């Protein structure tokens, strides 16, 4: 059994958190490769080290004095080192960082130091080897991952290293400079390492006990999803639910390695398993509910629309020409509705309306704003009768007016459009009917 364990910033924000992390890692021999983030927030108004580094480097780039900012970062690490009683001194490392900042080594280099230094501290504390990610994870010139080279070099390195710390978030370019993933990218590093060593599980340790059935800001103490498929996760993430960087899915998904989301502050909780496919039924027919506010709809009406070949294409090409992507496009016989993000649409509203008039000469165009979309997602909905019936009667009881419905033929999700004002009430009603009422 071989596990890759990634710890997020809040799991490594202080010496106290480091102690929890070490006891988790050392509890199982199979936890062999550790991917740390940079120290995150210790309390809600705190600043993440990554943000401190960006701020500090911005001063350096402008040729301004950045010593106070760099000292504040140093203090974050020293607090951890002292709290753990380590015999480790990062002065030499910080002198190099200072020199490189003065020489304007770039924002990627700057941000990556958070994980790099945290990796050194964690490796020292655990007694594991430290592997600088710039020597084993590689990027192409266009900034995308060089998967082939990475897998070759990284697997060879891991094959000869039993226990190691490999910092998250960055890798190296061919010219030896550093490159970072987008924010939250340590999740991606963990996934790449899991693929390279053919891990049995990729454990992603964070500060929640898994993926919730619904947003905890709307539902108090929502149930945790036990097992979710990659496809379900993608549907929910797209609609705003997030615990994991989107790109973290691809490397492990292809290899069939499950991701287990776990809570550093409650290690006894089983967390959520993210898997390619499973026979396991979800506990509540639905797997999760997620949604987003801020959509607008353009309702286009024209008599005999159904007989006009190319009508939909002409309308969509107007959106395309204006650089807007659409979310949904429900249609009737003589009507067609296009749902888009309101903020993007507002800037180009008149150009788009003019374009539609020219393209299809509609009888009437009506705009509706302040809409929310809610996705009810679940592999368990397939072929189960009455799922949509239950959703709509729950919404009717909660006095929520449904403005749009869209169910993909995969039966994996049902999308419902409601007014922004009804958004929370709608989610509560759906959660109640499928989850609370069943427990």
Binding site for ligand ASP (CB under 6 A): 9, 37-38, 48, 50, 114, 168-169, 183-187
Residues 6+ apart with CB under 8 A from 340: 295, 296, 297, 298, 319, 324, 325, 326, 327
Q: Which of residues 183 and 382 has its CB atom nearest to ligand ASP in the complex? A: 183
Segment holding 99, helix H or strand E: helix 91-102
Longest dimension (CA), the chain: 80
- CA dihedral (241, 243, 245, 251) positive or negative: negative
Least CB distance to ligand ASP at residue 35 (A):
9
CB-wise, 12 or 164, nearer to ligand ASP?
Answer: 12
Smallest distance, Å, CB 169 to ligand ASP?
4
- Shortest CB 406 distance to ligand ASP, Å: 33
Q: Closest separation between CB of residue 54 and ligand ASP, Å?
A: 9
Judged by beta carbon, residue 110 or residue 376, the one nearer ligand ASP is 110
Going from the C-alpha of 391 to that of each of 264, 388, 407, 434, the distances in angstroms are: 35, 5, 12, 9
CA distance 24 to 130: 18
217: three-class secondary structure by DSSP: coil
Q: Which is nearer to ligand ASP, 38 or 285 (CB)?
A: 38
CB of 142 to ligand ASP, least distance (A): 21
CB of 48 vs ligand ASP, minimal distance in Å:
5
Strand partners, 129: 164
What b/e readout covers 148-174, taking b as 16+ CB neighbours within 10 angstroms? ebbbebbeebbeeeeebbbbbbbbbbe
Closer residue to ligand ASP, CB minimum distance, 186 or 413: 186
Q: In the complex with ligand ASP, which residue's Cβ is closer, 261 or 318?
A: 261
Supply the minimum distance, in Å, between the C-beta of residue 241 and ligand ASP: 18
C-alpha 35, offset from chain centre: 17
Residues 339-376 as b/e (b if ≥16 CB within 10 A, e otherwise) read: bbebeebeebeeebbebbeebbebeeeeebeebbbbbb
Q: How far apart are CA 191 and CA 194, in angstroms?
A: 5
Pairing of strands 3-7, 201-206: parallel
Closest to ligand ASP by CB, 40 vs 271, is 40
* Residue nearer to ligand ASP on the CB measure, 181 or 319: 181
Q: Give the shortest CB-69-to-ligand ASP separation in angstroms.
A: 17
């Amino acid at each position: 059994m071989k596990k890759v364990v990634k710890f997020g910033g809040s799991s490594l924000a202080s010496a106290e958190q480091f102690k929890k992390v070490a006891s988790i890692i050392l509890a199982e021999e199979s936890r062999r490769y550790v991917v740390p983030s940079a120290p995150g927030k210790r309390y809600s108004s705190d600043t993440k080290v990554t943000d401190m580094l960006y701020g500090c480097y911005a001063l350096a780039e402008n040729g301004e004095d950045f010593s106070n900012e760099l000292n504040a970062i140093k203090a974050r690490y020293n607090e951890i080192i002292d709290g753990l009683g380590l015999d480790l001194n990062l002065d030499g490392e910080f002198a190099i960082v200072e020199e490189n900042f003065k020489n304007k080594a770039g924002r990627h280099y700057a941000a990556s130091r958070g994980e790099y230094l945290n990796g050194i501290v964690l490796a020292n504390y655990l007694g594991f080897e430290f592997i600088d990610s710039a020597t084993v994870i590689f990027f192409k010139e266009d900034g995308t991952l060089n998967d082939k080279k990475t897998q070759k070099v990284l697997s060879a390195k891991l094959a000869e290293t039993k226990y190691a710390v490999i910092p998250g978030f960055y890798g190296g370019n061919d010219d030896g400079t550093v490159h970072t993933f987008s924010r939250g990218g340590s999740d991606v590093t963990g996934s790449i390492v899991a693929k390279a060593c053919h891990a049995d599980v990729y454990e992603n340790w964070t500060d929640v006990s898994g993926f919730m059935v619904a947003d905890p800001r709307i539902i108090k103490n929502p149930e945790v999803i036990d097992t979710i498929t990659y496809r379900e996760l993608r549907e929910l993430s797209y609609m705003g639910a997030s615990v994991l960087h989107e790109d973290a899915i691809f490397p492990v998904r292809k290899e069939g390695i499950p991701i287990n989301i776990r809570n550093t502050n409650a290690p006894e909780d089983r967390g959520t398993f993210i898997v390619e496919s499973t026979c396991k039924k979800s506990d509540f027919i639905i797997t999760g509910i997620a949604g987003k506010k801020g959509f607008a709809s353009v309702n286009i009406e024209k008599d005999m629309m159904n007989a006009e070949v190319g009508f939909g294409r002409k309308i969509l090409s107007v959106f395309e020409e204006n650089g807007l992507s659409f979310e949904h496009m429900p249609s009737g016989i003589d009507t067609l509705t296009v749902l888009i993000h309101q903020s993007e649409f507002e800037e180009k509203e008149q150009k788009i309306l003019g374009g539609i008039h020219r393209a299809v000469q509609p009888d009437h165009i009506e705009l509706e704003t302040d809409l929310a979309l809610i996705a009810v997602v679940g592999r368990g909905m397939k072929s189960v009768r009455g799922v949509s019936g239950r959703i709509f009667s729950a919404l009717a009881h909660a006095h929520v007016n449904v403005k749009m419905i869209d169910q993909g033929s995969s039966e994996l999700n049902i999308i419902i459009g409601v007014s922004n004002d009804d958004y929370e009430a709608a989610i509560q009603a759906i959660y109640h009917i499928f989850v609370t009422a069943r427990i």
